[in-house]
Amino acid sequence: MKKFPSDSAKKFNVRMSDELHSQLKAAAAINRRSLNSEILVRLGCEGKAKMAPVSGDHAAQLRREGA
Residue pair 24/39 in contact (Cβ under 8 Å)? The answer is yes
Domain assignment present for 56? no
- 24's CB contacts (< 8 A; 6+ apart) are 16, 35, 38, 39, 42
Over residues 2-20, the pLDDT tens digits come to 777 777 888 889 999 999 9
As for how many domains the chain has, the answer is: 1
- Residue range of the domain that includes 35: 15-46
- Considering the entire predicted model, what is its pTM? 0.59
Alpha carbon 53 to its chain's center: 17
Asked whether residue 4 is domain-assigned, the answer is no
CA distance linking residue 30 with residue 22, whole number of Å:
12
User: For the segment 21-31, what is each residue's pLDDT rounded down to a tens digit?
Assistant: 999 999 999 99
Residues 44, 22: Cα–Cα separation, whole Å: 20
